[in-house]
């Protein structure tokens, strides 16, 4: 599930990169930067879905990333 939009992730990454320019930040900020970049690289818009009938009802699954969404 994408809690953030891609635009929000890009904004956060930009802010972290700005803070890291002085090279005085704790290691956790570099870790967060790397995770944000990975989230952006793997971001999925979930535009193409395949419907599956399940119990108790139908669910849809993203054809790109495999995310299953329940109605």
Rg of the chain over Cα atoms, rounded to whole angstroms, equals 17
3-class DSSP state for residue 17?
A: helix
| 39-48 per-position pLDDT tens digit | 999 898 877 6
Please say if the pLDDT value at position 38 is more than 90: yes
Query: Which of residues 49 and 4 earns the better pLDDT score?
Result: 4
Sign of CA dihedral 24, 26, 31, 32: negative
């Amino acid at each position: 599930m994408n809690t953030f939009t891609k635009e929000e992730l890009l904004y956060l990454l930009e802010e972290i990169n700005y803070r890291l320019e002085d090279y005085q930040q704790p290691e956790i900020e570099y870790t967060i930067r790397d995770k944000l970049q990975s989230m952006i690289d793997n971001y999925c818009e979930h535009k193409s879905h395949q419907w599956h009938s399940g119990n108790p009802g139908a669910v849809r699954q993203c054809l790109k990333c495999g995310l299953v969404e329940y109605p």
